[in-house]
């Protein structure tokens, strides 16, 4: 089904704008995470051995890290402003919860990282070897802490815990910060995302080093860089796959509709469910055509058992219809409490049905009078909880396919490194051609995580279409055009600087 540009509404345009800026920002995040740790490893070897080539390596890869870091900061700041400009009701409704980890990230992590990035570049001749090495590792620590707090905030959107709805303020408020901090989804997402960043950094170093060997430049520099990237990348690829499995298990526990969508499971299958390797999801007929399946595997991965079924999207939608009906009871009690806050019966009714209050809000797309919603409106709202399956289905397979490719690539690189055969020309071309794949995998992964949550901004709590600001579509078209123009300029600058310093090579760094 095609949608004309003129038909795009405020919600769709707001989602497009935030999605584009988020995906663009995440082009820089993985490389920052990966290179920061690789810099720490390389400088540690320099301090331990005194071999100046490791210092040169740290300085060269550090220059590329710096370019990427600046671009990440520029895009990240503008992205966060959109919570106030484009998603004002979202910011009001859940700002007490969502804003807390973002504020901590700014004070604890970003300022730490930014401060020590400056010391990294300007402290080579001002700090002792140990002092500068400590600075480099603090840059890596700051990068990882930034990712931790942002992923805690994002994980709460996927699995909202440690918060409650206050009917007096009509907002979500923190009730247990430790539950938010130690959210199981956050822990798995953090290690999985950071591992993916480490893979990105390792592939980047591997590919650029392969370029130097192919053009017969800086051989000793390139071989040492590739050796570090091979071992670091192999560990990171294994970690990303293992923690990806853990994330999948948690999705099966907390976001059953997302799991069913990425597997194209329209109907509940007897346990243990089979894994769909290939298929063509059909949103109209609610079938996955031409499916190639591996028996039992999905049940083992997603439930870690042989007797727990994977619920299908249609059954989940039917269950959501029941949750919408239950949520209407909470909505009805809330309307009474807005007029009479001390009404004991309404308080008890709200407490009994509050878990499904968010589901009743799905009806606001079809009626202003939620309490008197018709069966047809309830049925339609329940159907809205089924996301667009095909993009999720294929994005997930792109991500997983890339992950196993990286495992094979780094296994081969590690083997060739041990055999001192890294200059194999076929391998060098393979490594060089692999350069864009980590970004493809990361973007596909974030698309699955965010689009798979739809129609929710906060899963089960706040529908996406209720979270937007009161804007005209013309305002969004203008800001969207501005962002596209601004980010296009940044992309050109980024690519120019990266290519310039890659071609320049490490020779201009003094011992």
Name the one residue in this structure whose structure tokens are 């840059």. Answer: 139
**Contact partners, residue 412, CB within 8 Å, separation at least 6:** 427
- If we measure between CA atoms, which residue out of 49, 224, 60, 229 comes closest to residue 129? 49
Residue 311 token pair: 């619920």
Q: What is the 3-state secondary structure (H, E, C) of 153-212?
A: HHHHHHCCCCEEEECCCCEEEECCHHHHHCCHHHHHHHHHHHHHHHHHHHHHHHHHHHHH
288 Cβ neighbours under 8 A, 6+ residues apart: 264, 265, 266, 276, 279, 280, 281, 282, 393
CA distance 310 to 294: 15
Largest Cα span, the chain: 80
- R_g over Cα of the chain: 25
- Residues of 423-446 as b/e, b for ≥16 C-beta within 10 angstroms? beeebbebbbebbebbbebbbbbb
CB 268 within 8 A of CB 312: yes
Q: Which pLDDT belongs to residue 348?
A: 94
Peptide bond preceding 272 in cis form (omega within 30 of 0): yes
Task: Judge whether 13 and 476 are in contact, CB under 8 Å.
Answer: yes
Q: How far is CA 414 from CA 208, 224, 229, 409, 418, in A?
A: 17, 12, 9, 9, 6
CB hemisphere CA count around 445 (13 angstroms): 28
What is the predicted pLDDT for the residue at 3? 44
**Which residues of the chain, if any, have pLDDT below 70?**
1-7, 109, 509-511
Task: For residue 281, report the phi and psi dihedrals to the nearest 5 degrees.
Answer: -65, 135
Extract the tokens encoding 295: 């028996």
For residue 386, which of 296, 504, 242, 266 has the smallest C-alpha distance? 266
Q: How far is residue 511's CA from residue 507's CA, in Å, rounded to a whole number?
A: 10
pLDDT digits (tens, 9 = 90+) for 370-402: 999 999 999 999 999 999 999 999 999 999 999
What pLDDT was estimated at residue 5? 47
Q: Are 458 and 259 in contact (CB under 8 A)?
A: no
- For the chain, the helix, strand and coil percentages under 3-state DSSP, each to the nearest 5: 75, 5, 20
What pLDDT is attached to residue 455? Answer: 93
How far apart, in whole angstroms, are the C-alpha atoms of residue 152 and residue 98?
9
Backbone torsion region of residue 218, taken as left when φ is above 0, otherwise alpha when ψ lies between -120 and 50, otherwise beta? left
């Amino acid at each position: 089904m095609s949608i004309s540009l003129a038909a795009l509404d405020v919600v769709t345009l707001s989602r497009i704008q935030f999605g584009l800026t988020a995906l663009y920002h995440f082009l820089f995040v993985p490389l920052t995470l990966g290179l920061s740790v690789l810099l720490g490893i390389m400088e540690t070897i320099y301090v331990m051995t005194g071999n100046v080539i490791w210092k040169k390596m740290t300085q060269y890869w550090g220059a590329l890290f710096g370019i990427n870091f600046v671009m990440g900061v520029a895009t990240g700041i503008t992205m966060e402003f959109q919570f106030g400009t484009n998603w004002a009701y979202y910011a009001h409704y859940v700002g007490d919860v969502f804003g807390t980890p973002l504020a901590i990230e700014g004070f604890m992590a970003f300022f730490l990282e930014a401060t020590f990035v400056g010391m990294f570049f300007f402290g080579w001749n001002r700090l002792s070897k140990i002092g500068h090495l400590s600075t480099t590792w603090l840059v890596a620590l700051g990068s990882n802490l930034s990712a931790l707090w942002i992923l805690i905030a994002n994980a709460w959107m996927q699995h909202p815990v440690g918060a409650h709805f206050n009917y007096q303020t009509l907002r979500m408020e923190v009730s247990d910060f430790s539950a938010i901090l130690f959210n199981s989804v956050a822990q798995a997402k953090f290690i999985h995302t950071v591992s993916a960043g480490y893979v990105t950094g390792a592939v980047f170093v591997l590919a650029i080093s392969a370029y130097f060997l192919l053009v017969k430049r800086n051989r000793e520099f390139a071989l040492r860089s590739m050796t570090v990237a091979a071992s670091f990348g192999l560990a990171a690829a294994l970690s990303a796959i293992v923690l990806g499995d853990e994330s999948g298990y948690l999705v099966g526990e907390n976001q059953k509709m997302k799991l069913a969508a990425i597997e194209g499971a329209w109907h509940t299958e007897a346990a243990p469910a089979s894994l769909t390797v290939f298929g063509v999801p059909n949103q109209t007929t609610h079938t996955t055509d031409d499916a190639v399946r591996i028996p039992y595997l999905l049940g083992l991965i997603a439930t870690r058992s042989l007797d727990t079924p994977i619920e299908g999207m249609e059954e989940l939608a039917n269950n959501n219809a029941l949750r919408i009906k239950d949520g209407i009871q909470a909505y009805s009690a809330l309307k009474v409490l807005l007029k009479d806050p001390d009404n004991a019966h309404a308080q008890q009714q709200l407490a009994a049905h509050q878990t499904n209050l968010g589901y009743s809000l799905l009806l606001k797309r079809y009626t202003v009078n939620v309490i008197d919603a018709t069966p047809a409106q309830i049925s339609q709202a329940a159907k809205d909880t089924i996301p667009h399956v095909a993009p999720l289905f294929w994005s997930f397979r792109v991500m997983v396919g890339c992950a196993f490719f990286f495992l094979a690539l780094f296994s081969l690189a590690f083997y060739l490194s041990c055999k001192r055969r890294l200059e194999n020309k076929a391998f060098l071309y393979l490594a060089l051609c692999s350069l864009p794949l980590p970004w493809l995998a990361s973007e596909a992964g974030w698309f699955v995580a965010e689009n798979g949550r739809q129609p929710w901004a906060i899963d089960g709590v706040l529908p996406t279409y209720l979270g937007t600001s009161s804007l005209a579509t013309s305002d969004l078209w203008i800001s969207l055009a501005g962002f596209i123009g601004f980010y296009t300029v940044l992309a050109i600058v980024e690519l120019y600087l990266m290519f310039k310093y890659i071609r320049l090579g490490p020779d201009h760094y003094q011992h």
